[in-house]
Amino acid sequence: MVGLDAEKMVYEISAKQISLETITELIASGKQLSLSKEMKNRIKDCRAYLDQKISQDEEALYYGVNTGFGYLQHVRIDRKEIEQLQYNLLQSHACGVGEKVPKHLIKIMLLTKIQSLAQGYSGVQLETLQRLIDFYNHDVLPVVYNQGSLGASGDLSPLSHLSLPLIGLGEVYFKGEIKNSREVLAQFSWEPITLRSKEGLSLINGTQFMLSYGVYAVSYAKELFDWADLISVVSLEAFNGNVQPFDHLIHAIRPHKGQVETAMVIREYLEGSEIAQAKDKQVQDPYSFRCIPQVHGASRDSLAFVKQTFDVEVNAVTDNPNIFPEEDQVLSGGNFHGQPLALGFDYLAIAMAEIGSISERRTYQLLSGARGLPLFLVHDPGLQSGLMIPQYTAASVVSENKQLCTPSSVDSIVSSNGQEDHVSMGANGATKCLRVLNNLEKILAIELLTATQALEFRKPVKSSPIVEKLVALYRKEVSFNTYDRVLATDIESSIQFMRRWRLDEIKSL
C-alpha cells in the first residue's frame, strides 16, 4: 500500500462479515483498509484457477471472459483480444448522466466493491483490488453520476465510472478538486492497471451503487427516527396531550416490536414532566398524537427489515460469472440483479414518508387554536401570520414524498436487445429514497420549530428534563417568534440544529 500514515488505525478486510454499522463507522473515522493474508490468498488462488481454466480448454466459452457481453454473449473473443475486451467494456459502459454522486457515497461504493471482490469468487488480480484500496485510503474518489443504472446487470454505468481511473481514464475528486485520473495516478507514481480476463466484468457487475445509498439511508433513517420520537413528545406536551395511549399495558396486547419500543421511548422522554402529569386532559387526542407508537413503530419495523436486507448484501458477491476454484466451477447466474434492494428502497421510502405525514399533522394541530393555544401560535393573529406558512411548506414537502413513493421496483424495461428483459430499477429507487429522507428532515425541522413555539405558551409549567434541555439548546439558535420575520431562516437553522446535535449528546448534558 502506497504511503500510508502509520499513525492511522487500519481496518483489515477478512473472512469476517462486515455490518452496516461498521461501514458507517469506517467512513466517519477515516480508518484505512488492508487485506488479511487469508483474503490475499483467496484472491490469488481464484485468479490462478481462472487463468489455468482458460489455458486448459481454449474451446470452452466462459461468459465475459472469452465472449461478448449481454446479447453479444455468443460472440467468441480471440484469446489475444481478451484483455482489450475488458478495456472496451469499461469505456463503452461509462454512460452516466445527471448529478454527480456525493463523495461520501462514492467512498461507500469503493468500500463495498472492495468487500465483494475480496471474497475470492470474482477472478480479479490482487493488484487491481489493491489499487481500489489505495484509492479509498488516499481519498482518490472517482467521479460517478447518479443516473444510468437499471439495477439489473448490476449498476453497470455507475460502476464503470468508478472503475475508469484504474486504467487511467475518467475523473476523480482529489484534495477538493476534480482532476483527470491519469494526473492523480502520476502524483502517486501509480501505473494504470493492465486488466486481465473477466476483470472489467467483475468491476462493473454488482450492486454497489444501490448499496452505497442503502448503507447511508439506513444510518440516516435511524437518526431521523430518533428526532421524530423526541420532537413528537415536544408536540404532545405543547398540545397538552393525554399520556394514557403510551401505557405499556396497551402495547403488551399488540406487541409489534417497533410499536412497543416507540411507546417505551415516549414514556422515557415524558418522565418528570409536569405537563404530562397535569389532570386537565381531554379523553382522547387526534390520531397524530394518540397513535405515535403504532405509526412510528410500524415504520421502525420496516426499517429493521430493510436493514437486514442490506446487511446481507454488503457481504455478498454480486458479479457474474462466479468462480469456485475448490469446486472446479465457473458458473453464470444472476446475483447482480438488484430486486432485493429495489424492494427495500421502496419499502423504506414509504415507511419514512409516513413519519413525515404524521409529523405534518401534528404541526397542523398545534396551529389550529385548540387546547388553549393561540391561532398560528402568535400573540396578535391577523396582524401577525405567525407560523401559518411553515405548515404550508411541510404540506408541500409531504405531498412531494407521496409522489416520490410510487414504487420503482414494479417498473421494468427491456434492454440489451431482449437479453435483459426484466430489470429492478433499484438505482432509481435508491436515489428517490434519499430524496424522501432529505424531505423528512425538513418536515421534522418544521415540527420542531412549531412545537417549541407552542410549548412556550405552557409556561410556567415545565415539561420533562430531556425536553427542557432540547428547547434550551434550540433557543440558542432559533428565538421565540414574537413578530413576523423571514421564517425560511428559522427552518434552515432548525435543520442545521438537528444535524449538529445527536440525542445521546443532549441526554448527557
- Residues annotated catalytic, as ranges: 63
Residues 6+ apart with CB under 8 A from 199: 86, 123, 124, 125, 128
Q: Which residue has the cell 387526542?
A: 285
How many secondary structure helices (H) and strands (E) does the chain include? 20, 9
Cis peptide before 321 (omega within 30 of 0): yes
Left, alpha or beta for 151 (phi > 0: left; psi -120 to 50: alpha)? left
Can you list the positions of beta strands (E) in 415-481? none
All 3 cell numbers of residue 255? Answer: 406487541
3-state helix, strand, coil in the chain (%, to 5): 60, 10, 35
All 3 cell numbers of residue 434? Answer: 434519499
All 3 cell numbers of residue 393? Answer: 411548506
Rounded distance between C-alpha atoms, residue 481 and residue 479, angstroms: 6
DSSP string, 158-181: HHHHHHGGGGT-SEEEETTEEEEH
| Angle, alpha carbons 285-290-292 (nearest 5°) | 145
Using alpha carbons, select from 344, 357, 450 the residue that is nearest to residue 401: 357
Using alpha carbons, select from 298, 300, 295 the residue that is nearest to residue 245: 295
Residue 349: φ, ψ to 5°: -60, -45
Sign of CA dihedral 136, 141, 145, 146: positive
Distances (CA, A) of 205 to 121, 155, 268, 317, 420: 13, 6, 47, 10, 13
15 in helix, strand or coil?
Answer: coil
The length of the chain in residues reads 509
Residues 6+ apart with CB under 8 A from 434: 213, 216, 217, 220
Give the DSSP letter of residue 147. E
Cα dihedral 99→105→107→108 (10° resolution): -140
